[in-house]
Structure 1
Amino acid sequence: MATTSVFDTGLGFEGSHVLVTGSSGAIGSVVVTAFLSTGAHVSAFDIRTPETAVEHVRLRTYQVDITNEASVEEAMEMARATFGVISTCIAAAGVDLSFAPHHSLADMPLQDWQRIMQVNVDGTFLTCRAWLRGIRSFATSQTKNISAVIFGSEAGRFGVPSCAAYAASKAAIQVGLVKSLARDVVSIDARCRVNAVAPGPVDTSQFRKECANDPTALWREAQATVALNKPIAVEAVARACLFLASDNFAGNITGQVLPVDSGKSGILFWLADGRDA
């Protein structure tokens, strides 16, 4: 009688040290919970303190401004002193489209453009740089799940006519940065991988509020050009991060952007009644 070989379906994060930036946000907080559920140690970075404090023996929270070089480096050092080398970096922090200033490019103040770029591009750069320096200095042959997952957006593919700065910032990090960094990191550690997730409209309380204020928002953003005809559950984004960060599941995936958008295939230019969408 033939024996069946064992196929490991575990994510393999037990004992790994995972960094999550933007950890107090609607998505980041669920990502933190997801990694804690796998047995990982988690360092949570955010400029804001969490609305609801979460206590866990494998969790430490730090107030960090990701646009401040010294703040990022100091927090990284404290996190490593607590849980050891940060093997996995989930760069979720950034200016969210819902809270970004919306203007035609013709009317956008330079300071609005610069602020979005500073947080979404410079902040992601500083985070990834500090993480990679830690890999270079402290990773050993026993370190596993050496990977980064950068948060992009569907806006990086389709654009946002009322907030070009947001779309440009997400395109920069989910394409230019990810593609370049994926080739760079292997010179630091041959096991190192870098990918991005690009969520569509996520079913957060803020998105539901926007839909309540604008009866066309749900149809326009998450139904009219979306195969599954619905917004994305926050947990689905967190699961995508688990997948991409896991050596067991995505050990040969690097330099890629994973759309988590319910099958969005295009941007809507006009509403049914002819108004600009």
Structure 2
Amino acid sequence: MATQQELFGGGLAVVTGAGAGIGEGLAHHLAGRLGMTVVIADIDEAAARRVAGELPAPGRGVPYVVDVRDAEAMAAMADWVGAELGPVRLLVANAGLQQFGYLWDTPADSWQRLVEVNINGVFHTARAFLPGMIAAPASAHVLVMASIGSVVSMPMQSSYIMSKHAVLAIAECLHQEIGLLGVEINVAAVLPGAVDSDIFTSAGGVDHGDVDAAEQHRRDMFAVRERAITPTEAAETIMDQAAQGEFYIVTQPEMVLGAMRSRAEQLVERRAPVPFRSRFVAQPDA
């Protein structure tokens, strides 16, 4: 079984949404632990530059400002990376947003922005980089950042949950398409459980309807941060499983695999969904 160092050491990685959260944790791990050159791709220039400057291996971080919603901008980035830095050994489609509120209260522009970042962003990333990776003679990996939300349903997060179900489907189909080509590119879906990040703080809310319910759900979800693993811990686990060739990469097996099992049982038994209760969220007294 290959190690992380054997598969990725010294290579080139591109991580979208690397200015914060799991993306930032991966950038630190890839540069510091594996000696990779990491393109810190983010729409937030200050965040991209900060992460690049804070990497434990000076000079290993290359900040690149890009909006994953922009197909032409993503194609231009792929061209620039290929010309200036060389072949990509690891591509991580990580950029994503969260949204709270009842579906009928969700602003149409918030819905559209989330779809464009969480779903279209994965499409534009794959479409921009995969042709070059397929043509390159070296092996490579693609990690698509899904979520435990890809295998559950949950009230007050319908737009986010919808998007992550779509992202998992993209990863599963892409894995099969690459398999048809017979090239040495391994596509995997990453399903993080509870990872400490600002995704709940920065999540969109609602500006009409039941605003209080949306904000209460945000506060409830903050309990995740109290018991979550760090992005650095998540990165270590993710890259270990990537090196082992896993397709479904999970940061907390007990939690995520339990959710996957429950989802499968629900579908087979044709049970109507009931509100998903995370074990990390404080529950009311019985």
Q: Secondary structure at the match of 2:228?
A: coil
Q: Are residue 71 (structure 1) and residue 78 (structure 2) matched?
A: no
Aligned equivalent of 1:33: 28
Contact between 2:238 and 2:250, CA under 8 Å: does it hold in 1? no
**What CA RMSD, in Å, does the superposition of the two structures yield over aligned residues?**
2.9
C-alpha separation in 2, matches of 1:191 and 1:179:
16
2:176 and 2:64 map into 1 onto residues whose CA distance is: 30
TM-score normalized with structure 2 length: 0.75
CA distance in 2, matches of 1:50, 1:34: 20
One-letter identity of the residue aligned with 1:93: A
SS at match of 1:42: strand
Sequence identity (%): 23
Map 1:54-203 onto structure 2 (within 5 A): 54-55=52-53, 56-95=58-97, 97=98, 100=99, 102-137=100-135, 139-140=136-137, 143-144=138-139, 146-174=140-168, 176-203=169-196
Verify the 8 A CA contact 1:11 1:242 in the aligned structure 2: no
Change beyond 3 A, Cα 1:79–1:245: farther
Question: C-alpha deviations, 1:101-137, integer Å up to 9, x for none?
Answer: x221232233222221111000111101112111133
Q: 2:4–2:239: 8 Å Cα contact kept in structure 1?
A: no
2:197 to 197, 204, 222: 204
5 Å matches for 1:240-259?
Answer: 240-246=237-243, 249-250=244-245, 253=246, 256-259=247-250
Q: CA deviation at 1:29?
A: 1.4
Gapped regions of structure 1 (runs ≥ 5): 1-6, 224-229
SS at match of 1:242: helix
Is the CA contact (8 Å cut-off) linking 1:149 and 1:197 kept in structure 2? yes
Residues 165-222 of structure 1: per-residue CA shift (max 9 Å, x gap): 1001011112x111110011134452111111111221236669999x947852xx47
Deviation at 1:41, TM superposition (A): 1.8
Q: After TM superposition, which residue ranges in structure 1, 4 or more long, deviate above 6 angstroms?
A: 206-211
Contact preservation (8 Å) 1:196, 1:258: yes
Indicate conservation of the 8 Å contact 2:237/2:251, yes or no: yes
SS in 1 for 2:45: coil
Distance 1:243 1:203 in 2: 19
How many residues get paired?
A: 244
SS at match of 1:160: coil
* Secondary structure of 1:186 counterpart: helix
- Deviation at 1:240? 2.9
Find the residue that maps to 2:21 and give its secondary structure: coil
Quickly say closer, same or farther: Cα 1:50–1:201, change in 2 above 3 A. farther
CA contact (8 A) 2:13 2:39 kept: yes
Amino acid of the residue matched to residue 76 of structure 1?
A
Q: Say if 1:215 and 1:135 are closer, same or farther in 2 by CA, change over 3 A.
A: closer
Deviation at 1:154? 1.4
